[in-house]
């Protein structure tokens, strides 16, 4: 059974067909699912302890959220937290070694691979899954539903790549329009430097592991699709692609971005914005929270704006997956926890996402999230929530190829290739060719 994801209309049609089949079977699972469908999640019948693995972003918050779920009469959850850096190798090693984890954080680019390796469960027929997917921004669904219609994950959080800009610095430099396109950003960076306001105005998280996100962000900003529906790399066929890499190389080689961005972490980059050492910062929208909370001399002047002009930006999101759980009650309990953590609680509220929004500005890929009064109250007032919601709805794309099983191989190579470009060791055209070759090679079997 698959999930139709072409549009809202077909989504509803898929649900109806499934409802019909379920109704005729009149199974106990269907009955158990009823309250879940009506109000988000249900109490789990399982009485044992669930195992959950997460990375170390605010571990106390994770424990509090899970404890709150248990306190509502649900099973206890044993939460293990490991560092974000190296999480992917760590979880793969554990699963390969036979670790049984009921529910775990995962990077979206690993999700289909984990399904294919038998480490993660397809969620197709679990109670309330259609409603969860149907509740989601259409733009976000391809991250959680694969091309075959299988539901492979639920959201842990979601974000869009946006421009954090110092409004005061732009005014001081005589820039009256917030830069949006790559060309705008280049021009604004030059003006900011020539005006003597900031020597290297643009910062971004260009470490090796993260270059792949920027690859898609910058291509989408110029209206370029990197891959077709089958995962074939097509960015090399677009004559504008070389221009994107020329821009990228120029930003670095001309010193409009500081040399240190190849190794700087986001915390340092946020601090550069807060201290006024940088004026433009492209990364996930929620870094506005970290810049503001640093309370540097320029923190209050930093604001958020969409990028890409008429085109889109990259929408990212990390995910929650369920392990291969044989026991049905346990599986359903883990699923209830996944729904609570990645969608709504029993009262139909975005409780978990509200807490993340309050703590770190993280978003959920649901339209209802942005209009929920509690969420609106939880978000710091410097966020333009309708604007952010609009970016999720129509101004961003998720790049479906990013969840294909070969994608982690490609993802691991992008950093080396882009760094060679930035260091002047490769031309933009060579970079396009190398990335195309890397994508093809990744789909062709083992390779270095």
Partner 1 sequence: MSSSFSNGSLARADAWFGMKMSAVAAIMMAVLLIIPSALTIIYSLHNVPANGSSFGEFVGFRNYEIIFTSNVFWRSVWVTVVFSVGFVVLSTLFGLAMALLLNQEFLGRGLARGLLIIPWATPWLVIGILWKWYADGSVGGLNALLVGLGITGEYQNFLSDPNSALLLAITAAVWRQASFAGILLLAGLQTLPGELYEAAELDGANWWQRLNNVTIPWLRPVLVTVTVLNIIYAFLQFDVIFAMTQGGPGDATQVLSILIYRQLFVVTQIGLGSALAVVLGLAALIGGLVTVKVLYRGKAAN
List residues near partner 1 by CB under 8 A: 88-89, 92-93, 95-97, 113, 117-119, 207-209, 258-263, 268, 408-409, 412, 415-416, 419-420, 422-423, 425, 445-448
Cβ at position 429, least distance to partner 1 in Å: 18
Both structure tokens of 362: 């993280």
Cβ at position 20, least distance to partner 1 in Å: 36
Both structure tokens of 247: 């821009």
Give the separation between CA 364 and CA 350, rounded to whole angstroms: 9
Cβ at position 27, least distance to partner 1 in Å: 31
Cβ at position 242, least distance to partner 1 in Å: 20
Nearer to partner 1 by Cβ, of 70 and 92: the residue is 92
The answer to whether the CB of 352 falls within 8 A of the CB of 358 is no
DSSP 237: G
Cβ at position 97, least distance to partner 1 in Å: 8
Q: Helix, strand, or coil here: 204?
A: strand
Nearer to partner 1 by Cβ, of 260 and 394: the residue is 260
Cβ at position 201, least distance to partner 1 in Å: 16
- Residue by residue, DSSP assigns 102-114 as SEEEE-GGGHHHH
The closest of 300, 306, 271 to 285, measured between CA atoms, is 306
Nearer to partner 1 by Cβ, of 82 and 305: the residue is 82
Nearer to partner 1 by Cβ, of 203 and 362: the residue is 203
Would you tell me how many other CB atoms lie within 10 Å of the CB of residue 5?
Answer: 22
The answer to whether the CB of 347 falls within 8 A of the CB of 40 is yes
The closest of 237, 210, 248, 11 to 109, measured between CA atoms, is 210
Nearer to partner 1 by Cβ, of 19 and 447: the residue is 447
Nearer to partner 1 by Cβ, of 308 and 415: the residue is 415
C-alpha distance from residue 94 to each of 20, 73, 100, 101 (Å): 40, 30, 8, 9
């Amino acid at each position: 059974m698959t999930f139709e994801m072409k549009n809202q209309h077909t989504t509803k049609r898929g649900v109806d067909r499934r409802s019909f089949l379920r109704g005729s079977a009149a199974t106990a699972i269907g009955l158990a699912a009823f309250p879940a469908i009506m109000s988000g999640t249900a109490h789990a019948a399982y009485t044992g302890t669930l195992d959950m693995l997460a990375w170390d972003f605010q571990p106390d918050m994770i424990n509090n959220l899970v404890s709150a779920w248990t306190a509502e009469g649900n099973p206890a959850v044993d939460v293990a937290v490991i560092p974000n850096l190296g999480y992917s190798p760590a979880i793969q090693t554990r699963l390969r070694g036979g670790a049984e984890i009921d529910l775990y954080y995962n990077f979206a680019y690993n999700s289909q691979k984990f399904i294919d390796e038998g480490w993660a469960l397809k969620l197709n027929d679990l109670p309330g899954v259609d409603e969860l997917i149907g509740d989601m921004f259409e733009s976000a669904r391809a991250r959680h539903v694969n091309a075959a219609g299988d539901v492979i994950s639920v959201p842990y959080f979601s974000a869009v790549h946006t421009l954090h800009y110092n409004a005061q610095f732009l005014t001081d430099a005589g820039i009256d329009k917030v830069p949006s396109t790559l060309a705008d950003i280049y021009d604004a960076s030059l003006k900011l430097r020539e005006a003597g306001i900031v020597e290297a105005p643009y910062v971004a998280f260009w470490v090796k592991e993260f270059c792949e996100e920027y690859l898609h962000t910058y291509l989408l900003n110029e209206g370029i699709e990197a891959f077709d529906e089958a995962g074939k790399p097509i960015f090399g066929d677009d004559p504008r692609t070389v221009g994107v890499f020329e821009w990228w190389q120029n930003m670095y080689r001309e010193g409009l971005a500081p040399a240190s961005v190849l190794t700087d972490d986001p915390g340092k980059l946020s601090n550069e914005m807060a201290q006024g050492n940088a004026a433009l910062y492209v990364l996930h929208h929620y870094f506005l929270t970290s810049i503001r909370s640093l309370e540097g001399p320029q923190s209050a002047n930093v604001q958020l704006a969409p990028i890409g002009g008429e085109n889109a930006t990259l929408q990212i999101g990390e995910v929650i997956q369920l392990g291969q759980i044989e026991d049905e009650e346990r599986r359903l309990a883990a699923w209830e926890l996944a729904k609570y953590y990645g969608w709504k609680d029993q009262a139909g509220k975005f409780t978990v996402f509200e807490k993340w929004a309050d703590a770190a500005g993280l978003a959920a890929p649901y339209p209802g999230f942005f209009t929920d009064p509690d969420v609106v109250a939880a978000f710091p007032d410097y966020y333009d929530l309708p604007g952010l919601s609009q970016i999720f709805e129509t101004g961003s794309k998720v790049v479906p190829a990013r969840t294909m099983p070969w994608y982690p191989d490609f993802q691991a190579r992008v950093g080396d290739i882009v760094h060679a470009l930035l260091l002047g060791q490769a031309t933009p055209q060579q970079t396009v060719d190398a990335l195309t070759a890397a994508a093809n090679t990744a789909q062709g079997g083992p390779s270095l």
